[in-house]
Amino acid sequence: MSSSERRYFENRFEDYDGRTSLQSPDGKIVEPYYSRIRAETHKLLKQCEEGFEHSRDDHDCSVYTGAGGMALLYMHLSETLFKDDETQKQQYLKNALKILEHSQHGLKGKRMTFICGDPGVLSMLVVLYSKLGQDAKSETCLSKLLSLSDHVCGGDPSLPDEVLYGRAGYLFSLLFVQQHLGAEKINLGIINQVCQAILDSGERLSKHERNRMPLMYTWHDKHYVGAAHGIVGIIYMLLQTLPAQSVQSNLRSIEECVEFLVSEQFPSGNFPSSLENGTDKLIHWCHGAPGAVHLMVKAYQVFGKDKYLSTALKCGEVVWSHGLLKKGYGICHGVAGNAYAFLCLFKQTGDPKYLHRAMKFAEWCFDYGKHGCRTPDRPYSLFEGMAGTVYFLTDILDPKSSKFPAFEI
Ligand code: GSH
């Protein structure tokens, strides 16, 4: 393949030298990197806020491309970049609330997920109202959020199960509220039912197709594999919901799915985008190794099999060699999203090599727009554009606390 046909730039960064210390005793990145990352983040944040304001689409309140994504970034900044500045911290929470209140009329009552639908906005409102002392409003939004569970669990055959548009994306909304306000905030019975609905749906399709996998999922008639639309994302969400009895009772089936996925890994370390498509091409969080790494590490934590960790480590190699994407710097199909693969491996292994790699990808992002990448359709959005890059850069400041937004709990 010629370099012009490739979807990635050659990675010319040196790999980890095995010596340099990258973390200070409190877990933060050492100087001068810490200050440099903060400075670059502030620069990009300013650009992003201005760009978002100018290109704002009041009809899009999604976390993926719209106002919800900016609100999620602001919530994140209050916990990272402005963590030690109480005034700024409160201000960014208020900014997030303002954006969401403004965009509430854009709720469509159509999509059921955190990333693309009403539950994202509602669950952030639950958290923000509560943090800002408006408990009655928080409860109202929580009731609205929970009332959607009837539809999610009702067996609607047109509702998918994947993360971007389906049941697993609704599940994340509930986990998000729990993460911020405590597990007791959401009745485990509801969470259990949502997981059961996902499991039932997977089992139904598997039986219908006489598939060797006990759980099988499709989206738009394709058996997608990756984190956004496929089984990787669905199974990952279930494994993040271990307290649910339905998940506990189906761990065997879930593990069989993980086993199957391991067998689908390409020699390069990447994964196919769907079972119908055997080409080793997309190295994105949404499709491919950068998303699968999260599942493999989680599966290792839950089932304890070394094989899952080595599958994850192989993902890390292909992301390092082929992960500087020409698509851009975003989190869904860009360099920042790919860098979360290294943060995930660093959190699991403690190996500074992965922190080094994440920092090199961060360095690439400092030169935002200078590599000749394509411009995303929504250039300032969280999943396609600059807001996602800013989110990642602030996460790397304290790598052990980093989490892929709207996906990792
Ligand atoms: N609209 C997106 C943007 O402007 O950033 C581009 C669409 C895109 O890249 N989609 C991802 C993908 O893998 C899936 S979410 N597309 C298929 C491909 O790159 O071949």
Instruction: Print pLDDT tens along the chain (409 aa).
Output: 667 789 999 999 999 999 999 999 999 999 999 999 999 999 999 999 999 999 988 889 999 999 999 999 999 999 999 999 999 999 999 999 999 999 877 787 889 999 999 999 999 999 999 999 999 999 999 999 999 999 999 978 899 999 999 999 999 999 999 999 999 999 999 999 999 999 999 999 999 999 889 999 999 999 999 999 999 999 999 999 999 999 999 999 999 999 999 999 999 999 999 999 999 999 999 999 999 999 999 999 999 999 999 999 999 999 999 999 999 999 999 999 999 999 999 999 999 999 999 999 999 999 999 999 999 999 999 999 999 999 999 999 999 999 999 999 9
* Cα torsion angle, 115, 116, 118, 119, sign: negative
In angstroms, what is the span from residue 65 Cα to ligand 1's centroid?
A: 13
Cα–ligand 1 centroid distance for 147 (angstroms): 32
Ligand 1 centroid, distance to 333 Cα (angstroms): 6
DSSP 8-state code for residue 374: P
Residue with the smallest CA separation from ligand 1 atom 15 is 286
The atom of ligand 1 lying closest to the CA of 378 is 4
> Relative to the CA of 7, which ligand 1 atom is closest?
19
- Please state the residue numbers annotated as binding site for Zn(2+): 286, 332-333
What are the percentages of helix, strand and coil residues in the chain, rounded to 5? 55, 0, 40
Residue 332 Cα to ligand 1 midpoint, Å, equals 8
Atom 19 of ligand 1: nearest residue by CA position: 282
Q: At what angle do helices 386-397 and 33-55 cross, to 10 degrees?
A: 160
User: What is the C-alpha separation between 31 and 51, in angstroms, rounded?
Assistant: 30
* Ligand 1 pocket residues where CB is under 6 Å: 228, 282, 284, 286-287, 327, 332-333, 376-377, 384
Tokens of 138: 């928080």
> Could you tell me the pTM of the whole model?
0.97
Ligand 1 atom with minimal separation from the 328 CA: 5
Q: Residue 329 C-alpha to ligand 1 middle, in angstroms? A: 12
Distance of alpha carbon 357 from alpha carbon 320, whole angstroms: 7
Give the span between the Cα atoms of 202 and 215, in whole angstroms.
4
- Residue 166 DSSP symbol: S
Q: Token pair for residue 360?
A: 């090199």
Ligand 1 atom with minimal separation from the 287 CA: 13
Instruction: Output the known binding site.
Output: 286, 332-333
